[in-house]
Chains A and B, each alone.
Chain A
Amino acid sequence: MVRAFNPRTQEAEAGGSLRVRGYPGLQNEFQDSQSYTEKPCLKKQNKKEMWARALRVRFPVPLDRGRGFASKAGPQGKVQEVRQGTHSPRLASQGAGRVPAAKIEHLERLALVNFGSREAVARLEKAIAFADQLHALDTDGVEPLESLLEDRCVYLRSDNVAEGNCTEELLRNSHHVVEEYFVPLPGNVSLPDMVNKTPSPTAE
Chain B
Amino acid sequence: MLGRTLREVSAALKQGQVTPTELCKKCLSIIKKTKYLNAYITVSEEVALKQAEESEKRHKQGQPLGDLDGIPVAVKDNFSTSGIETTCASNMLKGYIPPYNATVVQKLLDQGALLMGKTNLDEFAMGSGSTDGVFGPVKNPWSYSKQYRERQRHDEHGDSHWLITGGSSGGSAAAVAAYTCFAALGSDTGGSTRNPAAHCGLVGFKPSYGLVSRHGLIPLVNSMDVPGIFTRCVDDTAVVLGVLAGHDPKDSTTVQDPIKLPMILGEMDVSRLCIGIPKEYLVPELSSEIRSLWSQAADLFESEGAKVIEVSLPHTCYSIVCYHVLCTSEVASNMARFDGLQYGHRSGIDVSTEAMYAATRQEGFSDVVRGRILSGNFFLLKENYENYFVKAQKVRRLIVRDFMNAFDSGVDVLLTPTTLSEAVPYLEFIKEDNRTRSAQDDIFTQAVNMAGLPAVSVPVALSNQGLPIGLQFIGRAFCDQQLLTVAKWFEKQVQFPTIQLQDLMDDGSLVLENGKLTSVSLT
The reply to whether B209 and A203 contact each other, CB–CB distance below 8 Å, is no
B312: chain A residues at CB < 8 Å are 72-73
Cα A154 to Cα B451 with chains together (Å):
18
Cα A184 to Cα B379 with chains together (Å):
29
The reply to whether A5 and B292 contact each other, CB–CB distance below 8 Å, is yes
Could you give, for residues 116-137 of chain A, a 1 whenever the CB lies within 8 Å of some chain B CB and a 0 otherwise?
A: 1000100110111011011101
The reply to whether A134 and B349 contact each other, CB–CB distance below 8 Å, is no
Cα A150 to Cα B247 with chains together (Å):
17
Q: Is A199 an interface residue (CB 8 A)?
A: yes
Which A residues fall within an 8 A CB radius of B? 1-3, 5, 31, 35-36, 54-55, 58-60, 62, 65-66, 68, 70, 72-75, 82, 84, 86-91, 99, 103, 106-108, 110-116, 120, 123-124, 126-128, 130-131, 133-135, 137, 139, 142-149, 152, 154-157, 166, 169-170, 172-176, 182, 184-192, 194, 198-199, 201, 203
A–B complex contacts, Cβ < 8 Å, 20 sampled: A5-B296, A55-B310, A74-B314, A89-B317, A90-B320, A113-B362, A120-B367, A127-B328, A127-B375, A134-B395, A145-B400, A156-B252, A174-B341, A182-B341, A184-B353, A184-B356, A187-B354, A188-B352, A198-B362, A199-B355
Cα A70 to Cα B207 with chains together (Å):
30
The reply to whether A170 and B342 contact each other, CB–CB distance below 8 Å, is yes
B254: chain A residues at CB < 8 Å are 155
Cα A188 to Cα B352 with chains together (Å):
8
**Chain A nearest CB, measured from B439 CB (Å):** 6
Q: Is B433 an interface residue (CB 8 A)?
A: yes
The reply to whether B377 and A111 contact each other, CB–CB distance below 8 Å, is yes
Q: Is B159 an interface residue (CB 8 A)?
A: no
**Chain A nearest CB, measured from B85 CB (Å):** 11
Among B325, B358, B439, which residue has the most Cβ atoms of chain A within 10 A? B358
The reply to whether B321 and A131 contact each other, CB–CB distance below 8 Å, is yes
Given contacts A139-B395, A203-B351, contact A173 B320 (CB under 8 A): no
Given contacts A130-B324, A146-B393, contact A186 B367 (CB under 8 A): no
The reply to whether B365 and A130 contact each other, CB–CB distance below 8 Å, is no
Of the stretches B45-53, B168-176, B265-273, B280-288, the one at the interface is B280-288
B436: chain A residues at CB < 8 Å are 88, 91
Cα A15 to Cα B209 with chains together (Å):
42
Cα A149 to Cα B252 with chains together (Å):
10
Cα A108 to Cα B374 with chains together (Å):
7
The reply to whether B322 and A114 contact each other, CB–CB distance below 8 Å, is no
Residue of B nearest to A88 (CB): B440
Cα A110 to Cα B361 with chains together (Å):
13
**Chain B nearest CB, measured from A102 CB (Å):** 12
**Chain B nearest CB, measured from A84 CB (Å):** 6
The reply to whether B353 and A186 contact each other, CB–CB distance below 8 Å, is yes
A203: chain B residues at CB < 8 Å are 351, 355
**Chain B nearest CB, measured from A151 CB (Å):** 11
A84: chain B residues at CB < 8 Å are 283-284, 317
B339: chain A residues at CB < 8 Å are 112
Q: Is B394 an interface residue (CB 8 A)?
A: yes
Cα A159 to Cα B436 with chains together (Å):
46
Cα A191 to Cα B344 with chains together (Å):
22
The reply to whether A154 and B362 contact each other, CB–CB distance below 8 Å, is no
The reply to whether A59 and B318 contact each other, CB–CB distance below 8 Å, is no
